[in-house]
Chain A
Amino acid sequence: MTDKELIQAFLDRYLLTISKPGRYTGGEFNQITKNWEQTELHFAFAFPDVYDIGLPNLGMSILYDQVNRRDDALAERVYAPWEDMEVLMRSHSIPLFSLESKQPLKKFDVVGFTLPYETLYTNLLNMLDLSGIPLRSGERSNDDPLILAGGHACFNPEPMHAFIDAFVIGEGEEIIHEIAEVVKAHKQAAAPRLDLLKALDDLPGIYVPSFYAVSYAEDGLIKEIHHIHKPEKTFVQKRIVKKLPKPVTNFLVPNVKAVNERAVIEIMRGCSRGCRFCQAGMITRPVRERPASEILEALEQSIESTGYEEVSLLSLSSSDHSQIAELIPQVMRMSESRNVTFSLPSLRVESFGPELIASMAGKRKGNFTIAPEAGSDVMRTRINKSIDGEDILATATQIFKMGWTNLKLYFMIGFPDETLEDIEGIVDLTRQIRSIGKRLVGGRVKIHISVNTLIPKAHTAFQWLGFSEKESILEKYRLIQSGLKNTGIKLDWPDYDNSMLEVWLSRGDRRLSDVIEAAWRGGARFDAWHEYYDVDIWQNAFGSNNIDPTFYSTRSRCTDEILPWDHIHTGVSKKYLLSELEKSRALETTADCRQICHGCGIQANYTISCENIRTESL
């Protein structure tokens, strides 16, 4: 029997004995299955979490579409098997396989992992292990696939440097084709693996970690990072596409439940707001909009191609799209006539005027979400969330007047220079909003607030700050809790220890590769799932490697320290981030780049102009 037949026979026989077997069958509508033997290049795209979470991932859908458009290549998918399936596969010696052709991962030329967040790292190791592919890049031979990773978490690739052959930094639509060409040429030449890595290293936007050496000073800080073959190459700059290509509309439609089942059209990439805590806002610059006509056409196409009953628009800040006011009514008319629902997440209070609220009033009144982020005007100035308390109250008033009764508010704590007054501000603002709600909709008003702790992320103005100490965070939570007592306001916050993994991994350096491997060997899996995440496994992994985790978490960093991700460039200069940190301390705001250019570096580094978003918004 061939591998494929063996895997299919195993599935036919045993799938019924495990939970949610539909996760492992593939066969979704819009799945693309090409002839394996007659296609030259084999790409597998892997999402290191369970099928239900991974299927809707837009980044992976884009790459699947791009590669499958090529005549010389096929793209297939694989997700992390759930615990029971892993046990079953291991006990029958079944390797990890793709959903389309049921081919073992090891038989592919390229395995590309999508890493939107850090808590997937142990699953990635587990998937390599289940595939029989050596965990460490240095242990792989020509028979092994090229292991790639991309996604937002890869903007600090260092903690995973030992396991990934090459990282794709930034947007994948164009570079994936360059990678395909390089892999094809290498396959035809049957050259050593090192040559493949060298050819990839020449592509702008590719980071081959094994070509960089990192040395450390006695105090544990990074002394130097350099390219071992090309000393003149001091950094990798992220890739962008200057113009957004036509959006994917033929989404895979799952046969079993997934977390999001809807057609999603990305209306804008990048964000002009400049919130100082927001990593996504910095790493996705510059702002590029899709024209309203293209968005509408794509939505209609996607309904026809998927049959989904819900459509949604995606961006970091939908209400900032310069054509949003004309787009929303059009989308609402279209969705009504086609009997599908329309959802619009990521709206901002700042640009969410009464007209927009009114235009959405025909919809079913579900939850309405606003994100003041901080409780006081002072703190909102520090984080550059340019909206004051009065505006927030006015927006809440509008929302209640239009008939919504459930309001969800997002806040963060643990900001720099935070005082107890800022925390009391959260309580006051929430209580005021509740009073407005009570007056306008009476007893039906429901307020739910979610308070997260700031994780100072790489490539943001706050990257030098330490993560808050546990005591200080708990004190602040207690203050909020007692301030909201007997108000009926629902409050939730994350467990401090649950945040730690993201803190370590997003701010870590190369030494964390050993910790990640030790944690995986210690049983860590599905760390993004609270019921599976075990902080003790990670503490032990740090311990056995003699690494102090607080070096990465609560320690604040000097502005002249070499940061682990300094050789990864987003196009936004470090100088600009530093000036933003200083302005935060000096209580100065930075206006939206739609109003004025602050010279963040994007225009210069990509020889492009952001002028269009300034003229369009006038």
Chain B
Amino acid sequence: MRIRITYRKTGALLYTSTLDVQTIWERSVRRAGLILQYSQGFHPQPRIQIANPLPLGFVGAQELIDIWLDDERKPEEIKDLLNKSVPEGIYITEVNTIEENGPSLPKQIDASTYSVELLNSDDSIEKIQASTEIMLLKDSLPRVRNRKSYDLRPLIQEMSVQTNPDGKIVIFLKMPSNSSQTGRPEEVMAELGIPLENFRITRTSLVFLEKYA
């Protein structure tokens, strides 16, 4: 049985990398008393597909993962078992059974949406708004990451600025996260000149390719 899990990733798990998250799922499934399927071969691998890696420090509001189980229980029951077996910082909001042999989850993902909350009260919304507008007006935004030059501008598919109910400034972004391109919101923040410790990023959703939506 293939199930798709929708979950939040936050708190103590903010600093756990995608590779370690895979291990956490394996162990959580074992603690829940569910039987995970393994691939065939000399080094059997657990059948787990994480939709898209979530960078260190990002809150994941609606992360997705597919796992294959030897189990016939109802999704609701599996959800309850798993919620008792995951560490603090993961909360499962939905479990659905899906087509066993459908396309791989990572291949269905096209983009991600993010909200970036600014922590420094000195930033004025007018200033941020002006900076983002200037960025969007440009044809290209050359940047260097890991010693490679690239253009950030086409990776910003959507960008807007608002104030949230707490009075904090929030920048909304949509950037690609598919097999050919990955946009990084922290690069946008670097371009805006806002240091790492002054913002907190949440991935608010994963956007499916149109044909899978």
Chain B residue nearest to A29 in the complex (CB): B87
Chain B residue nearest to A28 in the complex (CB): B87
Q: Which residues of B contact A306 (CB under 8 A)?
A: 27, 31
**Minimum CB–CB distance for B169 against chain A, Å:** 16
Q: Digit string of A122-146 for contact with B (CB within 8 Å is 1, else 0)?
A: 0000000000000000000000000
B24 within 8 A of A: yes
- Are B28 and A307 in contact, CB atoms less than 8 angstroms apart? yes
B119 within 8 A of A: yes
- Are A25 and B29 in contact, CB atoms less than 8 angstroms apart? no
A339 within 8 A of B: yes
Among candidates B15, B30, B33, B38, residue contacting A256 with C-beta atoms closer than 8 Å: B15
Place the interface of chain A in its size category. Answer: 20 to 34
- Are A17 and B87 in contact, CB atoms less than 8 angstroms apart? no
Number of A-B pairs, beta carbon distance below 8 Å: 81
- Are B57 and A21 in contact, CB atoms less than 8 angstroms apart? yes
- Are B197 and A13 in contact, CB atoms less than 8 angstroms apart? yes
- Are B15 and A22 in contact, CB atoms less than 8 angstroms apart? yes
- Are A308 and B27 in contact, CB atoms less than 8 angstroms apart? yes
Q: A22-B15, A304-B33, A306-B31 are in contact. Are A255 and B26 (CB under 8 A)?
A: no
**Minimum CB–CB distance for B10 against chain A, Å:** 10
Among candidates A15, A17, A29, A31, residue contacting B31 with C-beta atoms closer than 8 Å: A29
Q: Digit string of B155-179 for contact with A (CB within 8 Å is 1, else 0)?
A: 0000000000000000000000000
Q: Which residues of B contact A13 (CB under 8 A)?
A: 119, 197
A14 within 8 A of B: yes
A253 within 8 A of B: yes
- Are A16 and B27 in contact, CB atoms less than 8 angstroms apart? no
Q: Digit string of A10-47 for contact with B (CB within 8 Å is 1, else 0)?
A: 00111111001110011111010000000000000000
Q: Which residues of A contact B87 (CB under 8 A)?
A: 27-29, 253, 255
- Are A255 and B38 in contact, CB atoms less than 8 angstroms apart? no
When chains A and B are docked, how far (Å) is the Cα of A17 from the Cα of B13?
Answer: 16
When chains A and B are docked, how far (Å) is the Cα of A17 from the Cα of B200?
Answer: 12
Chain A residue nearest to B29 in the complex (CB): A307
Chain A stretch 181-213: residues in CB contact (< 8 A) with chain B: none
Q: Which residues of A contact B38 (CB under 8 A)?
A: 339
Q: Which residues of A contact B6 (CB under 8 A)?
A: none
When chains A and B are docked, how far (Å) is the Cα of A31 from the Cα of B89?
Answer: 13
Q: Which residues of A contact B14 (CB under 8 A)?
A: 15, 21, 25
Q: Digit string of A297-325 for contact with B (CB within 8 Å is 1, else 0)?
A: 00000011111110000000000000000
- Are A15 and B30 in contact, CB atoms less than 8 angstroms apart? no
A246 within 8 A of B: no
Q: A20-B15, A25-B12 given. 17 additional CB < 8 A pairs?
A: A15-B57, A16-B15, A16-B196, A22-B16, A25-B14, A27-B89, A28-B12, A29-B27, A29-B31, A256-B15, A257-B20, A304-B30, A304-B33, A306-B27, A307-B29, A307-B85, A309-B26
A-B CB contact pairs (8 Å), 28 listed: A13-B119, A15-B15, A15-B57, A17-B196, A21-B15, A21-B56, A22-B12, A22-B15, A25-B12, A25-B14, A25-B15, A26-B12, A27-B87, A28-B87, A29-B27, A29-B31, A29-B87, A253-B87, A255-B13, A255-B15, A255-B24, A255-B89, A256-B16, A256-B17, A303-B30, A306-B27, A307-B29, A309-B30
